[in-house]
A and B are shown apart, each in its own frame.
Chain A
Amino acid sequence: MNNCLCPPPPEFRINRIDDSKLKWLLLTMMRIREFEERVAELVIEKKIITPCHLYTGQEAVASGVCHALRKDDYLFGTHRSHGHYIAKGGDLKAAMAEMFGRATGCSKGRGGSMHLVAPEVGILGTSSIVAGSLPIAVGTALAESIRGTGRVTAVFHGDGVPEEGIWHESANLAALKRLPVIFICENNLYCTHMALDKRRVHDNLHRVAKEHGLESVVVDGNNVPDVYYAARDAVNRAREGYGPSFIECRTYRWRGHVGPNYDVDLGLRNQDELDAWVARCPIKHFAGFLVSIGILSKNDVEEMQRGVSFEIEEAVSFAVSSPFPDPADLTRYVFKGGASNDD
Chain B
Amino acid sequence: MTIKSYAKAVNEAHEQLLASDERVFVIGQGVESPWCVGTTTLGLVARFGSERVIDTPISEAGVTGAAIGAAMAGMRPIVFHPRMDFMYLAMDQIINHCAHWYYMFGGRVNVPVTIRGIINRGNEQAAQHSQSPFAMYVHVPGLKVVCPASPYDAKGLLVAAVRDDNPVLYIDDRWLYTLEEEVPDEIYEVPLGKGRVCREGSDVTVVAVSYLVREAMKAADILASERISVEVIDPRTLKPLDIDLIVNSVKKTGRLVVADPDWPCCGFSEHVAAAVYSRTFNILKNPVQFVTLPDAPVPAGTSLEKAYFPDKSDIFQAVKHFFAE
A binds B: yes
Binding site for B on A (CB under 8 A): 74, 105-111, 115, 117, 119, 124-125, 127, 129, 132-144, 146, 153, 165-166, 169-170, 172-173, 176-177, 332-340, 343
Q: How far, in whole Å, are A334 and B240 apart by their CA atoms in the complex?
A: 12
Q: Besides the contacts A135-B68, A136-B72, A146-B70, what 13 more A-B pairs have beta carbons closer than 8 Å?
A: A74-B73, A110-B104, A111-B105, A119-B109, A134-B65, A136-B69, A142-B27, A146-B75, A166-B92, A166-B93, A334-B141, A335-B102, A338-B165
A231 CA to B27 CA, complexed, in Å: 30
Given A110-B103, A339-B144; A124-B109 close (CB under 8 Å): yes
Residues of chain B in range 100-154 having any CB-CB distance to chain A below 8 Å: 101-110, 141-142, 144
- Stretch in contact with the other chain, from B50-58, B209-217, B252-260: B50-58
Q: Which residues of B contact A141 (CB under 8 A)?
A: 69
Please name all residues of chain A whose beta carbon is closer than 8 Å to the beta carbon of B72 when the two chains form the complex: 124-125, 136, 139-140
| Given A129-B92, A135-B61, A143-B74: A336 and B66 interface contact (C-beta under 8 Å) | no
Q: What are some 11 contacts across the A-B interface (CB < 8 A)? A: A109-B106, A125-B104, A125-B105, A127-B97, A129-B92, A138-B65, A139-B68, A172-B59, A332-B107, A336-B102, A339-B240
- For A141, the closest partner residue in chain B by CB is B69
Decide: B106 and A135 in contact? CB cutoff 8 A. Answer: no
**Contact partner of B96 among A110, A127, A137, A340, CB < 8 A?**
A127
Distance of A175 from chain B, by nearest CB (Å): 11
Question: Provided the pairs A119-B108, A132-B93, A143-B74 are in contact, do residues A173 and B66 lie with their beta carbons within 8 angstroms?
Answer: yes
> Using Cβ atoms and an 8 Å threshold, which residues of chain B touch A125?
72, 101, 104-105, 109
Contact A135 B102 (CB under 8 A): no
Scan B55-95; emit 1 where CB is below 8 A from any A CB, else 0: 01101011111111111111101000000000000001100
Task: Evaluate contact between B69 and A110: CB separation under 8 angstroms.
Answer: no
Q: Are B75 and A143 in touch, CB under 8 angstroms?
A: yes
* B62 contact set on A, CB distance < 8 A: 134-135, 138, 166, 169-170, 172-173
Cα–Cα distance between A145 and B51 once the two chains are bound (Å): 9
Give the distance in Å from the alpha carbon of A236 to the alpha carbon of B66 in the complex. 22
User: Which residues of B are found within 8 Å of A153, using beta-carbon distances?
Assistant: 69
Assembled-state Cα–Cα distance A284/B192 (Å): 58
Q: Are A135 and B108 in contact (CB under 8 A)?
A: no
> In the complex, what's the smallest C-beta–C-beta distance from A129 to chain B, in angstroms?
5
Cβ-defined partner of A115 (8 Å) among B25, B104, B142: B104
Q: Are B106 and A169 in contact (CB under 8 A)?
A: no
Q: Are the CB atoms of A166 and B106 closer together than 8 Å?
A: no
Question: What is the bound-complex CA distance between A138 and B62, given in angstroms?
Answer: 9
The CA-CA distance from A74 to B102 in the complex, in Å, is 17
Measured in the bound complex, the distance between the Cα atoms of B217 and A41 in whole Å is 67
What residues make up the interface of B, taking CB atoms closer than 8 Å to A? Answer: 25, 27, 51-52, 54, 56-57, 59, 61-75, 77, 92-93, 96-97, 101-110, 141-142, 144, 164-166, 192-193, 240
Q: Are A335 and B142 in contact (CB under 8 A)?
A: yes
Q: Which residue of A lies closest to B58 (CB)?
A: A169
A109 nearest CB neighbor, chain B only: B106
Q: How far is the CB of A317 from chain B (nearest CB, A)?
A: 21
Question: In the bound complex, what is the Cα–Cα distance between A143 and B70 (angstroms)?
Answer: 5
Q: Are B240 and A340 in contact (CB under 8 A)?
A: yes
Give the nearest-CB partner of B59 in chain A: A169
Residues of chain A within 8 A of B59, CB atoms compared: 169, 172-173
Asked whether B102 lies within 8 Å of A139 as measured between CB atoms, the reply is: no
Q: Which of A111, A135, A137, A339 has the most CB of B within 10 A?
A: A135
- Which of B65, B68, B101 neighbours the largest number of chain A CB atoms within 10 Å of its CB? B65
- Given A143-B73, A146-B51, the answer on whether A110 and B105 have CB atoms closer than 8 Å is yes
Residues of chain A within 8 A of B56, CB atoms compared: 173
CA distance A170 to B110 in the complex (A): 22
Residue of A nearest to B108 (CB): A117
Using CB atoms, name the residue of chain B closest to A333. Answer: B107
Min distance, Cβ A319 to any Cβ of chain B, angstroms: 15
A333 touches B102 (CB 8 A): yes
- Minimum C-beta distance from A162 to chain B (A): 14
Query: Which residues of chain B come closer than 8 Å to A133, judged between CB atoms?
Result: 97
Which residues of chain B have C-beta atoms less than 8 A from A143's C-beta?
69-70, 73-75
A132 contacts B92, CB within 8 Å?
yes
Known: A140-B72, A146-B25, A173-B59. A135 touches B103 (CB 8 A): no
Instruction: Give min CB distance, B98 to chain A, whole Å.
Output: 9
B75 touches A334 (CB 8 A): no
* In the complex, chain A residues whose CB is within 8 Å of the CB of B101: 125
C-alpha spacing A217/B25, complex, angstroms: 33
Q: How far is the CA of A340 from the CA of B141 in the complex (A)?
A: 11
Q: A109-B106, A110-B106, A333-B102 are in contact. Are A129 and B97 (CB under 8 A)?
A: yes
Q: In the complex, what's the smallest C-beta–C-beta distance from B252 to chain A, in angstroms?
A: 25
Could you tell me the distance between the alpha carbons of A142 and B38 in the complex, rounded to whole angstroms?
26
Q: How far is the CA of A166 from the CA of B52 in the complex (A)?
A: 23
Q: Which residues of A contact B103 (CB under 8 A)?
A: 110, 333-334
From A146, A169, A177, A339, B52 is in contact (CB under 8 Å) with A146
By a CB distance below 8 angstroms, the chain B residues around A139 are 65-73, 77
* Smallest Cβ-Cβ distance to A343: which chain B residue: B107
**A332–B108 CA distance with the chains assembled, in angstroms:** 12
Q: Which residue of A lies closest to B66 (CB)?
A: A139
Q: Which residues of A are found within 8 Å of B105, using beta-carbon distances?
A: 106-107, 110-111, 115, 117, 125
